[in-house]
Amino acid sequence: MGLFSFLTQEIAIDLGTANTIIIHNDKIVVDEPSIVAIDLKTEKMVAIGEKARQMQGKTHANLKTIRPLRDGVIADFNAAEQMIRGMIKMINPKPRLFSPALKMVICIPSGSTEVEIRAVRDSSEHAGGREVYMIYEPLAAAIGIGLDVEAPEGNMVVDIGGGTTEIAVISLGGIVTNKSIRIAGDDLTADIMEYMRHQHNIKIGERTAEEIKIHVGSALSQLQDPPPDYVVQGPNQMTALPIEVPVSYQEIAHCLEKSISKIETAVLSALEQTPPELYADIVAKGIWLAGGGALLKGLDKRLTDKIGIPFHIAEDPLRAVVRGTGIALKNVDKFSFLIR
């Protein structure tokens, strides 16, 4: 820390499709849903994060809730910039005489194109970033899990986020093989909404589908300690009268089958491209699951049975990526894999 350290503020951001988490001084200072509410008349931001999430699906004509990121990529430039700026303000809400220059490390999907990387960089610079570094999500997840990414050995990470599932084999501080597929938490939520409509004739919104996924979401139709059924209330599609439907984890396992199979296929395809020496390391050490999708009941067991390599769930998988980003922030000069 130099004499002018108070002039710069160092932050690590996990800019996710579903949640944005910010670390400052080794502490998680912001952990909010990636949603903003914008007043359409004035184009100003009315709410951000959890407050905006509560408005989701309940807004009137002049108010709109926007999720600035879709599939791990900035879809709405203006909203993304307002969201980053608003979340940075949450770190120190007290007004200051001057705002310090920001040094940030942000993580991005490993399949990002030059244009997408540029969009993240521009949004961050507009939001006040003086020095902006980027790190690929699976690398950040591996560092956050505590793997030695710079060692000459293979580590495999599957990071199932909201918008993308990132699968990567990492060795010597770089990504050797990677697959980034746009099937992740959001698709599972969409599957549940679709299923409830077809199967039970009940219309539910994104938030309710998310709740179902958290309570009874499962990757296996036989679990050792099954969760109790989750009761869903909503309008009947035909009559618009209210109905209550209990949902079991078996049903949800059945409705998520297609999307989970696609994740399995992607893991296998990344393994196929892995050099044999690294493959041997992975079989010996197992594969790590991170991201919110790792919390889906029975997913680790299903993948282990299907692929024949043990799968481990990272501790606190939701925050593995941001923890790794925070470590990268401290070692900006040491890590050669950060993108400037």
Quote the pTM value. 0.89
Report the candidate in 158, 189, 173 with the shortest Cα–Cα distance to residue 287. 158
What's the pLDDT band for 8 if we cut at 50, 70, 90? confident
Q: What is the mean pLDDT of residues 64-70?
A: 91
What pLDDT does 282 receive?
A: 96
What pLDDT does 97 receive?
A: 67
What pLDDT does 5 receive?
A: 59
- Residue 124 phi, psi (nearest 5): -70, -40
What pLDDT does 340 receive?
A: 75
Q: What is the mean pLDDT of residues 53-64?
A: 89
Q: What is the mean pLDDT of residues 7-33?
A: 91
Report the candidate in 168, 205, 162 with the shortest Cα–Cα distance to residue 184. 162
What pLDDT does 334 receive?
A: 83
Answer whether residue 301 shows pLDDT above 50.
Answer: yes
Report yes or no: 152 and 251 within 8 Å, Cβ to Cβ: no
* Per-residue pLDDT reduced to its tens digit, 180-236: 999 999 999 999 999 999 999 999 998 899 999 999 999 999 999 999 999 999 999
Average pLDDT, the chain: 91
Answer whether residue 3 shows pLDDT above 70.
Answer: no
Report the candidate in 311, 318, 312, 315 with the shortest Cα–Cα distance to residue 292. 318
Q: What is the mean pLDDT of residues 91-107?
A: 80
What pLDDT does 1 receive?
A: 45
What pLDDT does 224 receive?
A: 92
Show the domains of the chain with their CATH numbers.
Answer: 5-140+321-330 (3.30.420.40), 149-183+260-314 (3.30.420.40), 185-255 (3.90.640.10)
* Per-residue pLDDT reduced to its tens digit, 328-337: 999 988 888 8
Report yes or no: 30 and 90 within 8 Å, Cβ to Cβ: yes
What pLDDT does 89 receive?
A: 87
What's the pLDDT band for 4 if we cut at 50, 70, 90? low
Q: In whole angstroms, how far apart are CA 271 and each of 109, 170, 264? A: 19, 12, 11
* Per-residue pLDDT reduced to its tens digit, 243-264: 999 999 999 999 999 999 999 9
Answer whether residue 2 shows pLDDT above 80.
Answer: no
DSSP-assigned letters across all residues of 287-328: EEEESGGGGSBTHHHHHHHHHSS-EEEPSSGGGHHHHHHHHH
Answer whether residue 321 shows pLDDT above 90.
Answer: yes
- Residue 20 phi, psi (nearest 5): -115, 130
What pLDDT does 128 receive?
A: 86
Answer whether residue 274 shows pLDDT above 80.
Answer: yes
**Cβ within 8 Å of residue 48, ≥6 positions away:** 32, 35, 36, 37, 82, 83, 86, 87, 90
